[in-house]
Amino acid sequence: MTIKPPLTDLEIKVGEEGFYQGFNKGATIGSKAIIILLVLWAAVFSDQAGALLLKIRGWSFEAFGPWYIYAMAFIVFLCLALALFPATGKVRLGGPDVEPEFSSFSWFSMMFGAGIGIGMLVFSTAEPIYHFASNPDTIVGAVAPKSAETMRSVYKWAFFHWGLTAWGCYGLVGLALAFFSYNRGLPLTIRSGLAPLFGRRLEGVLGDLADIAAVIATILGIAVTIGYGISMFASGMHSMVGASWMVNAEGSPSLAAMMISLVLVMGASILSAASGVDRGIKWLSNINMVLSFGLLLFFLIFGAPGVALKSLFLGIWDYIINFPVQALTYWPTSDVEPAATLYKWQSVWWTVFYWAWWIAFAPFVGLFFARISRGRTIREYIMGTMVLPSLMCFIWFTFVGGTAINLELSGVAGGSILATGQEGQLYAALKLMVGSGVFKMLTGLVAILLLTYLVTSADSGVLILNTILSGGDAGKKAVAHIIFWGGALTAVIGVLLVAGGLDAIKSAMLVGALPFSAIIVLMGIALVKALVRDALREKNREVDGVGNPAGEIK
C-alpha cells in the first residue's frame, strides 16, 4: 500500500501591499464584518439584543448540551492516550534536536496566566462556596447541603470543572497546531490543524471559515473572561475606596465602575501587545506567578491548611475515581425533580457553560501554547498543559475556597460569604481573616494580580488574533492592527455589558463557541491520522531498509 506524503505547505494568500499587507483578506474582512455587525446590533438595539441572546442561550443549552459533554470527554481521553502511548509521547514538537525556546518556569507561567488565571481568582472562592450549598450530590439527597459532609462532593465537582477537561481543550488545539507547524512546516494558524482531513481545500474559503470561527470564538471567549475579571476588579476597588457610585442597588459593581475598569485594562493591554510576547507578555506572566504564589502563601499560613490539605488529597482521589462517570453523564431537561434541577445545574449554571467557555477560549490559548511550546515532547507538553495546571487549580480551590467554607462552617462568617456575589466572595473571606489595614493591603494585591492577569489575557488575545489572520505569521504586527483588535474587543465587551451585563456576554460566547467545538474534534481526528500515518511510514522504512521517500513507500 502506498502512503501519500504529508502536506508540508499550505498557501494562504495574504495582501502584498496597503493596510492588509501580510493579512489574509478573506478571513480578516469576514471577521471584522461579523464583529462590527455584533457591536452595532448590541449598541443600537441593546434591549432586544440582550433578550434575544438570553433566548439563544437557553436553546443552545437544551439542543447542544449532550454534544458539549461528549465532545469534551473525547478531547480529554485523546490527550491522555497520546501522552501515555510510547510512540506518540516521545514525538518532539519541531524535531528530535530542537531545544525549548523558554525556560520551564516562564513556559508554565505564560500558559497558566493566559489559560485560566482570572477565572481562578474569581471562582476559587465562588465555586466551592456555591457547591457547598448546592451540587448534584446535595440535589439528589446523598449529602446535606452546607454541612461538613458536603466537603468531598464540593471538590469532586469543582475539580471536574477546572481539571483535565479545561486544560485538555486548550492542550489539544495547541498540540495540533504545534505539530502541524513545527513538524510539518505548515502555517501556525487554525486551518493547519485540519490539513490531514481537508488538504489544499483549506487554502480557499473553507480555510477562511475555519479561521473566522476561531477569531469570533476567541473574541467572545476573552470577553467572558475579562467581564468576570473587571467585575471582580471593580468590586475590589470599591472595597478599598468605598465610593458609592461603584456599586448598584444590589451591591454588585456598577456599570460605570466596570466600564472604567474595562478602559484601564484594555489600554494597558494594547500597550503590552505592541511590545510582543518576548517582552510585555513574558514579564507580566512572571509577575502573575510571583503574586499568585504570594497570595496562596497567605492562605497557606493564615487560612485553614488542615482543611485544605485534607480536601486536596481526598478531592484528587474522588476526582480520579469519579471522572469517567462524570465526564460521560448528561442530565436531560425534565419537569420532574430532582431531574429538573440536575439539568439546570449541569447545563444552565455550571458544566455545559464551562465547557463552552473553555472551547471559546481554546483558539486563543491553544495557539498561544503552540507559539511557546516548540521543543517539547508530546508527553512533556501534555504534562505541562494539562496535569500541572490542573494541580495548580486544585491547590488554589482547596486553600482559598476551603478557607471560605471553613469560615462558614465554624460560624465566623455567619452566612456573609454565602450572601455575597461571586465577584466579592474572595474579598469577603479576606475581610474576616485580617484587620482593616491588612485587608486593604491584601485587596490591593488581589487587584494588582487581577490587573496583570487581565492585561496578559487581553494582549495575548490581540496578538493571537493577528497571528490567525496573517496566515500564521507570529511576527510583530503594525500598531494599527493591534489597536483595531484591542478596540474591537473593548467595544464588544462594552456594548454587551450595556445590553445585558455578564449574562449577555456569556450568551454571545455560547453562540461563538459552537462552531469551534466541531473544529476542535476534527483537529483531534486529524492529529491522530497524521501520527498514525507517520508511524506507518517509519515502520515501512525500517522494513525495506532503504529510506524511501514517503510517497514511494509500499
What whole-number distance in Å separates Cα of residue 347 and Cα of residue 353?
Answer: 6
Mean pLDDT of the chain: 87
pLDDT at 40: 92
Secondary structure (H, E, C), 457-522: HHHHHHHHHHHHHCCCCCCCCCHHHHHHHHHHHHHHHHHHHHHHHHHHHHHHHHHHHHHHHHHHHH
What whole-number distance in Å separates Cα of residue 248 and Cα of residue 262?
Answer: 17
Is the pLDDT at 547 greater than 50, yes or no?
A: no
pLDDT at 284: 66
List all residues 6 or more positions away from 59 whose beta carbon is below 8 Å from its beta carbon: none
Is the pLDDT at 551 greater than 60, yes or no?
A: no
pLDDT at 61: 83
What whole-number distance in Å separates Cα of residue 48 and Cα of residue 52?
Answer: 6
pLDDT at 186: 93
pLDDT at 553: 35
CATH of 31-536, one of 3.90.1010, 1.20.1740, 2.30.130, 3.10.20: 1.20.1740
Is the pLDDT at 286 greater than 80, yes or no?
A: no
What whole-number distance in Å separates Cα of residue 508 and Cα of residue 318?
Answer: 34
Cross-strand partners of 8: none
Between 337-351, 385-399, 437-451, the lowest mean confidence (pLDDT) is in 437-451
Q: What ranges make up the beta strands (E) of 380-453?
A: none
CA dihedral 383, 386, 387, 388 (to 10 degrees): 90
Task: Please state the rounded mean pLDDT for residues 276-294.
Answer: 67
The answer to whether 166 and 75 have CB atoms below 8 angstroms apart is no
pLDDT at 104: 80
What whole-number distance in Å separates Cα of residue 228 and Cα of residue 493?
Answer: 11
Is the pLDDT at 129 greater than 50, yes or no?
A: yes
pLDDT tens-digit map of 455-504: 877 877 888 888 899 988 877 777 888 888 888 999 999 998 888 888 88
List all residues 6 or more positions away from 155 whose beta carbon is below 8 Å from its beta carbon: 128, 311, 312, 314, 315, 318, 319, 394, 397, 398
Q: Nine-digit cell at 315?
A: 478531592
pLDDT at 552: 40
What whole-number distance in Å separates Cα of residue 366 and Cα of residue 206?
Answer: 20
List all residues 6 or more positions away from 408 whose beta carbon is below 8 Å from its beta carbon: 129, 132, 146, 415, 417, 418
Secondary structure (H, E, C), 325-346: HHHHCCCCCCCCCCHHHHHHHH
Between 2-16, 107-121, 148-162, 423-437, the lowest mean confidence (pLDDT) is in 107-121
The answer to whether 277 and 102 have CB atoms below 8 angstroms apart is no
pLDDT at 63: 87
pTM score of the predicted model: 0.90
Higher pLDDT, 449 or 533: 533
What are the CA-CA distances from residue 517 to residues 81, 148, 277, 363, 469 (Å)? 20, 38, 27, 10, 19
Q: Residue ranges of the alpha helices (H) in 45-92?
A: 46-84, 86-89
Is the pLDDT at 355 greater than 70, yes or no?
A: yes
List all residues 6 or more positions away from 93 whose beta carbon is below 8 Å from its beta carbon: 175, 178, 179, 182, 183, 373, 374, 375, 376, 377, 378, 381
Is the pLDDT at 276 greater than 60, yes or no?
A: no
Higher pLDDT, 6 or 73: 73
pLDDT above 90 as % of the chain: 47
Going by pLDDT thresholds of 50, 70 and 90, the confidence category of residue 554 is very low
Averaging pLDDT over each range in 247-261, 318-332, 371-385, 414-428, which range is the top one? 318-332
Max Cα–Cα distance, the chain, nearest Å: 79
Q: Work out whether the CA dihedral 106, 287, 264, 223 comes out positive or negative.
A: positive
Task: Please state the rounded mean pLDDT for residues 169-197.
Answer: 94
Q: Nine-digit cell at 544?
A: 525495506
Look up cell 529510506; give the residue: 547
